[in-house]
């Protein structure tokens, strides 16, 4: 998958068809190719269990570098479409946190007086 700043490899194990892989690629790209998210590079592994008795045979593991931060997401679902949707949600949230981890908004509050902050008196 290649987009302007997204370089993600999607690999398959087990009985994964090309349509399912294409849908996962599309969802992962949508989660990471957004304004405010720095360059992303990594890998997503999609697996389908061959055992018939497994309730959630589809699983995915993503290890992606967003800027300088490592983003890891795992998901298990009953179908490939549900798996891709869940993985997109998890990657979107984790990529947002990784991209904005150093923002000054988290450090906006001044320290309390006993830690050297301004005192009321």
Domains of the chain, first to last: 6-101 (3.30.160.100)
Classified as helix, coil or strand, 40 is: strand
Q: Which of 2-11, 33-42, 108-117 has the highest mean pLDDT?
A: 33-42
Q: What is the pLDDT of residue 4?
A: 54
Q: Binning pLDDT at 50, 70 and 90, where does residue 121 land?
A: low
User: Which residue in the block uniquely carries the two structure tokens 């830690």?
Assistant: 115
**Structure tokens belonging to residue 85:** 């949707």
The string of pLDDT tens digits covering residues 14-67 is 889 999 999 999 999 999 988 888 889 999 999 999 887 888 999 999 999 988
State the pLDDT at residue 118.
82
Residue 105 pLDDT greater than 80, yes or no = no
Beta pairing, strands 6-14 & 58-66:
unpaired
* 58-66/69-77 β-pairing: antiparallel
Residue 117 has a pLDDT of 81
Contacts of 104 (CB under 8 A, 6+ apart): none
**pLDDT level of residue 2 (50, 70, 90 thresholds):** very low
**Rounded CA separation 24/18 (Å):** 10
- List pLDDT tens digits, range 80-94: 999 999 999 999 999
Sheet holding 69-77, edge to edge: 6-14, 40-48, 58-66, 69-77
Identify the bridge partners of residue 44 per DSSP, sorted by sequence position: 10, 62
Distance CA 23, CA 19 (A): 6
User: Using N-to-C axis directions, what is the helix angle for 80-99 and 18-32, rounded to 10°?
Assistant: 20
């Amino acid at each position: 998958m290649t987009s302007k700043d997204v370089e993600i490899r999607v690999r398959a194990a087990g009985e994964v068809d090309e349509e399912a892989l294409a849908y996962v690629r599309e969802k992962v790209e949508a989660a990471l190719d957004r304004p405010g998210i720095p360059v992303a590079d990594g890998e997503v592994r999609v697996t389908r269990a061959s055992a018939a008795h497994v309730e959630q045979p589809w699983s995915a593991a993503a290890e992606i570098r967003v800027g300088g931060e490592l983003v890891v997401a795992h998901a298990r679902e009953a179908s490939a479409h549900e798996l891709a949707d869940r993985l997109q949600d998890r990657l979107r949230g984790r990529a947002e946190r990784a991209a904005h981890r150093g923002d000054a908004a988290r450090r906006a509050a001044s320290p309390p007086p006993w830690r050297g902050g301004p005192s009321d008196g």
